[in-house]
Amino acid sequence: MAFWSSTSVFTSKVPRKILFMFTLSLSVTYLFYSLMSCYNSLQFPLQENYVYQGRLVTEETTFVTLREKLYYASTQGFPEEEFTEAAAAEKTTAISTIKDHAEAEQRTLEWIRTQASPTKSASVYHTTALEREHQEFSTTDSELRVNCTSDYGEKKLPQAIIIGVKKGGTRALLEALRVHPDVRAVGNEPHFFDRNYEKGLDWYRDLMPSTLEGQITMEKTPSYFVTNHAPKRIHSMARDIKLIIVVRNPVTRAISDYTQTLSKKPEIPTFEVLAFKNRTLGLIDASWSALRIGIYALHLESWMQYFPLSQMHFVSGERLIVDPAGEMAKVQDFLGLKRIVTDKHFYFNKTKGFPCLKKPEDSSAPRCLGKSKGRTHPKIDPDVIRRLHKFYKPFNMMFYQMTGQNFEWELEEGSEYHSSQD
């Protein structure tokens, strides 16, 4: 009886232990296969992320390189043709990089497809998602190839214009600004708002260099300042545009203007003859363009009808020669740029009488303006200079009051201006 009792206890406990072990074994097996089947689906998002990160790094590196190249090109010579050739070569490199990147993405996509086996439905879903991501990348790359010109970027209407004045130092200012990596300026004077307005804004925009995001498009045409309809036309294009005016002692400016004309037409009358209607009576000929340009208050009045002074910046042509870094700091602040162009970028050329540009990290010779700049002024009768100072004085006082700046041109009375920056 005791035997049968112990046997029944044994038979009742053993099946339960076996059942428990069997159940546990099945659970572990199921969990193992579940994890194996989910392996690929868990792997896909990581692979997509790696592809996406790789693309971001590639694009960021490309654009950093472009900006560096643009900065390098801007510090080399003035001809636009040289920059176009360099930009074309860089474009070929950029497109090659994009193609290589697309091929790498395609190889990644094919590898992922070969991994899809245990959970076919999950792999199809993630492969489809990656293909969609790949299409989005391809669209972006396509747009990059379409929108980027040989200069990289987009052609825009200028956000800032150097509107004057002739023989005030506008070329020197423009070339100094072009050293800045965030400034892109057309080299030649477009003369759109005074001579070519009928050609339309599309024609004008096409003259501009291409810019990347964060860069400023600029141009300079000094005759705008004395063109009656230029303020209204510029305002209709962009009422928030920034205007830069380089001014200089009007007497010195007039002599420089005459010197330039004399170099082209040696047969013209002397400065003294052109400056007076009747020298005996002391009647100055204010209709002569060389003298009329220097009546700055008269011209500024037209601009103030369309633009507030907060959108205008006046550069002293004299200080641009003796302290180019100081004037450039003010201009960069006005344009909202970092002060990158500093005294390290300038070298004073005693022969020419004005600063030349140089790259601070380079030991090469400074880059000066062309032979047409820095001409020696002819000797002018001191009595004529004195009379011109007297003529301009009330207009200068009015100009100081309008701008809120004193350029101290009256302190130069009595000088003969034998030579100066042309």
Q: 374 labelled as ligand-binding?
A: yes
The rounded Cα 244 to chain-centroid distance in angstroms is 16
- Selecting among 155, 167, 220, 242, the annotated active-site residue is 167
Q: 371 labelled as ligand-binding?
A: no
Distance CA(161)–CA(176), nearest Å, equals: 14
Q: 168 labelled as ligand-binding?
A: yes
Q: Would residue 13 show up in a list of annotated catalytic residues for this protein?
A: no
Distance CA(79)–CA(178), nearest Å, equals: 12
Q: 377 labelled as ligand-binding?
A: yes
Q: 375 labelled as ligand-binding?
A: yes
Q: 142 labelled as ligand-binding?
A: no
Distance CA(379)–CA(382), nearest Å, equals: 9
Tokens standing for 405? 């700046």
Q: Is 235 exposed, middle or buried (0-12, 13-18, 19+ CB in 10 A)?
A: middle
Q: 13 labelled as ligand-binding?
A: no
Instruction: From 393, 385, 391, select the one nearest 410 (Cα to Cα).
Output: 393
Phi, psi of 82 (to 5 degrees): -65, -40
Q: 169 labelled as ligand-binding?
A: yes
Q: 379 labelled as ligand-binding?
A: no
Q: 155 labelled as ligand-binding?
A: no
Q: 170 labelled as ligand-binding?
A: yes
Nearby residues of 114 by Cβ (< 8 Å), 6 or more positions away: none
Tokens standing for 22? 């069997």
Identify whether the C-beta of residue 275 lies closer than 8 Å to the C-beta of residue 384.
Answer: yes
Binding-site residue positions for 3'-phosphoadenylyl sulfate: 167-171, 248, 256, 373-377
Binding-site residue positions: 167-171, 248, 256, 373-377
Active site residues: 167
